[in-house]
Structure 1
């Protein structure tokens, strides 16, 4: 079953939590290079070697698959897989609470060029050494 926000919202509350935990556990484990069964859903992610690049990649995955916007910093704090699942559920139910309202956006002058958004797929990441 392809996981998206519509089929998550159709589930019961407990099933929703379980499905999201399994989804996050799978993607986080894959991103940090371990087996999903080795990832304790109650252990803080920053204790597992999760860095900012991995956090951005996971955030982008959530945006793409579930249309929610969990800030990358949430992955870096003492968040766990279980607490991230709760954040995602809250956003799915209440709408994207992390989004910016039109009043918060900067006002562009007529002289400033407008940039078109670019959609980046997961496979388009470049990796290299600095």
Structure 2
């Protein structure tokens, strides 16, 4: 529909679909919460279209780094749970070929007393 026929102050919105790829300049956002049976981690990299897998690493009180596990990217935010309780964590994004794209900052695992669940 021609927006001119809608009257003064009317706006027309159009979306065009095409193959688009992006790697953001910002680093990924990562949070880690202690749970009764381990740790829940959530990572997002706003605008990213290339990551396919996230690997999560933890650091214990002695500074030992270990792979906690990995999760397939599921959209804007990817969640992961582990039975480990690391002091600090980091997430790394990998593309479809297994190349590392980016690493998050190291963040401290924190207590989460009030947990909101979204349905």
What TM-score, normalized to structure 2?
Answer: 0.25
Larger Rg: 2
* TM-score, normalisation: structure 1: 0.24
